[in-house]
Amino acid sequence: MANKSTLSEIEKRFDNDVDRFSNLQTGQASTVDALFNMELITDGIAQLYPDLTQFLDIGCGAGNYTVKLLSKLNTAPNVTLADLSQPMLDRAKERSASLTDGEVTTIKGDFRKLPLQENTYDVIIATAVLHHLRDDEDWEMAFAKLYRLLKPGGSLWVFDLVSHDEPKIQYLLYRQKYGQFLANLKDENYRDHVFDYIISKGKTVHAAHNTK
C-alpha cells in the first residue's frame, strides 16, 4: 500500500484541477467509458427513485454526477456533497443549487470520518473514489458505514477503477485500450502522467448497484 496517495496529496491535486473535472462532455475523463457510465447510473437512479428526496455524493468532485442526475429528476431533493477539496465542493454546490429547490449541503473531508446521519439517504453515489481505500479492513469499514447511511430500500451506486486478475487482460484493458484513449484525449505525455498517478490500475466497474 506504499504507493497509495495520501489524503493531502489527493486534496492538492483536485484543488488545482477544478475546471477539467467540471466537464460533462468527458465525464471527467477518468476512464474510457466514463461518460457512458455517468449516463447509465443517473438514468438508473432516475428510473428507480422518481420520488428521490435525499441524495449523497461522496468524492463528488466538481459535481458532474449530481448535475447530471438533477437534470433528469422531476423532484427537488436535498443534496449532500462530500469531498476532500474545498474548491471542488464550491464548484459542485454552485452548479447543483440552480437545479434543485432542495437544500444543497457541502461537507469537506474523508467520508469515512464525516459526521453524516445514518438511515438518511435514498441514494449514495461513489464514483472514482473508493479505489483510494487501503486494506480489506478499510474497505469493510467504509462499506459498513455507507450501508448505515442508507434508508431501507436505499442503494449505493459505484463506478471506479479496478485491476484484472488475468495479466493479459489487464494489459489489454489498461496499457492498450485506456492508454490509447488518454493519448488521443491529449497526448502521450498526458497518458504517462495519468498512469503515474493512478493508484489501482485497470478496467471500470459498470454501474455497480448495491441495494440496502
46 pLDDT exceeds 50? yes
Please report the pLDDT score of residue 6 as a whole number.
Answer: 62
- The DSSP symbol for 56 reads E
Would residue 109 be called left, alpha or beta, if left means φ above 0 and alpha means ψ between -120 and 50 degrees?
A: left
Give the residue extent of every domain in the chain: 7-161
Instruction: Please say whether the structural domain 7-161 has been given the CATH code 3.40.50.1110.
Output: no
Q: Are strands 121-127 and 54-58 parallel, antiparallel or unpaired?
A: parallel
Please report the pLDDT score of residue 51 as a whole number.
Answer: 94
Q: What digits encode the pLDDT tens for the residues 76-100?
A: 999 999 998 999 899 999 999 999 9
Q: What digits encode the pLDDT tens for the residues 97-131?
A: 999 999 999 999 999 999 999 999 999 999 888 87
Please report the pLDDT score of residue 7 as a whole number.
Answer: 57
How many H helices and E strands in the chain? 8, 6
Grid coordinates belonging to 5: 496517495
| CA distances for 100 relative to 63, 97, 121, 137, 204, angstroms | 13, 6, 16, 37, 30
